Structure 1
Amino acid sequence: MGKHATEEQRAASEYLGSLDDSLAPWVRSTGPIDAYEMHLPVKVRSPVEWFSFAIASRQLSRAAATAIYNRLVAQLGGSITAERVIATDEQTMRRVGLSHPKARAIRGLAELADDGLLEQDKLAAMLDAEIQTELVAVPGIGPSSAQMFMMRYLHRSDIFPASDLGVRAAVTELDGLGKRITPKAVEQRSALWRPYRSYATSYLWGYTWELHHPAAG
């Protein structure tokens, strides 16, 4: 990323790389990164659309999730809005390939958005913990989905998905632990990386990827 890095990206890299910590050498060798890059195969223009794709993707291949999402967009007239979801019965939503729990979760998000709780100005004024509390109250939305939304869509810099297997695998390897670190322990471990835990998470994911896809020769 080099000279194209933002001030926040450089600050996160410098801070995390300066720590007396097992992650620091990897941060220094990698340099600044974009912790918020989503790499989505579809265009999302609102929280409802972001969550609709995230929910459709659960336990499915990216290709299958993309097909279902695009069918849902077409079914709803070209975009997924709170009003259109609420006006559509569940049977119609399930015809595009959504399961009952997924259709219910998307409807719950739409109702939250319709109440104004997912408006950008409202979200900007809320703490991370407040947003997570609102989201996990919706059936079908768990902590990990809420955390990914805050990190990838809202670009919050201090989100840490302690239950994520990739994060835990990376910390286990970096710290030379005999068995995989628990979510509770890795949450405590992450305190050192504040206020850039979203960046630490992305560095950890990158480290996990490198472990399983080492550069050839």
Structure 2
Amino acid sequence: MTSPDSAEAGLPAPLTADRLRLGAEQLAARDPDFDALLQRFGPPPLWPREPGFATLVQIILEQQVALKAARTLFERLDRHLGGVRPAAVLEVSEAGLRNQGLTRQKARYCHELARRVDSGALDLEQVARQPDADGRQALLAVPGLGPWSVDVYYLMALRRPDVWPQGDLALAVALQDIKGLASPPTRAEQHRFASAWSPWRAVAARLLWVHYLAARGDYPEQGQ
């Protein structure tokens, strides 16, 4: 169901397990490659994340590194700070973040994000209630939050059903595999593929991530 706030703002209902299954079934009905993935793996995971500051920090840490390495770094930071909150990040300063393993650039990004959220310049609860174009503009104004990071936040934390993560390398590799392409598709080519999967592009991305993980032995087929 759509929440009252979402309905008032004209926002799409967030993905749930039931809506995820519905979207996967509709994609399978129109694209045989998705049908094959659904038969092999079943509906993809929701992979939900809690909306808010800590998730945005984790997404920043995930930029251009393996997810496992980013998760380890985030967990270390979480333990050190006693919770990844804006005030705690500001208290340790950029130097303190670097001491926990963050690069100079990512420490600066996380510190600036904390400053904006702590001061009220960026209201993440308001972002969640706004139309996507307005909320995305507010997030993209933060140094370190580019299109991919904002897309992942909308897809995983806000669970919007029709978001395609721009420039995701794993999705490019998965598309190359299932479509039998000679090389990974460019961003423009990915966009052309994904446009046919609206209004379930976020579900398509999850199905493709499952394929990517399974090809590397990190996701089981049904019945295994």
TM-score band by shorter chain is 0.7 to 0.9
Give the Cα separation in 2 of the matches to 1:172 and 1:72: 36
Q: CA deviation at 1:152?
A: 1.4
1:135 has 2:142 as partner: no
Residue pairs, 1:38-53, within 5 angstroms: 47-53=52-58
TM-score relative to the length of structure 1: 0.78
1:162 has 2:166 as partner: yes
Deviates further, 172-181 or 60-69: 60-69
What percent of counterpart residues are identical?
Answer: 26
Distance of aligned partners of 1:160 and 1:66 in 2 relative to their CA distance in 1, 3 Å threshold: closer
TM-score relative to the length of structure 2: 0.76
Query: What's the RMSD between the two structures over aligned residues?
Result: 2.9
Q: CA deviation at 1:16?
A: 0.8
1:152 paired residue number: 156
- Is there any run of 5+ residues in structure 1 with no aligned partner, and where? 39-44
1:173 paired residue number: 177
1:73 has 2:84 as partner: no
1:118-159 deviation digits (Å, cap 9, x = unpaired) = 433x12322333333222222222221111111111111111
Code of the aligned partner of 1:56: L
Give the Cα separation in 2 of the matches to 1:112 and 1:6: 33
Give the Cα separation in 2 of the matches to 1:105 and 1:193: 33
Give the Cα separation in 2 of the matches to 1:60 and 1:178: 25
1:24 paired residue number: 35
Which of 95, 111, 116 in structure 1 is aligned with 2:115?
111
Give the Cα separation in 2 of the matches to 1:59 and 1:163: 11
Q: CA deviation at 1:14?
A: 1.9
Q: How many residues align?
A: 204
Deviates further, 156-165 or 67-76: 67-76
Runs of 4+ displaced beyond 6 Å: none
Q: CA deviation at 1:75?
A: 4.3
8 Å contact 1:48–1:106 — kept in the other structure? no
Asked which structure has the greater RCO (Cα within 8 Å, sep 6+), the reply is: 2
- Is there any run of 5+ residues in structure 2 with no aligned partner, and where? 1-15
Distance of aligned partners of 1:180 and 1:93 in 2 relative to their CA distance in 1, 3 Å threshold: closer
Code of the aligned partner of 2:182: G
1:100 has 2:104 as partner: yes
8 Å contact 1:17–1:28 — kept in the other structure? no
1:198 paired residue number: 202
Distance of aligned partners of 1:204 and 1:61 in 2 relative to their CA distance in 1, 3 Å threshold: closer
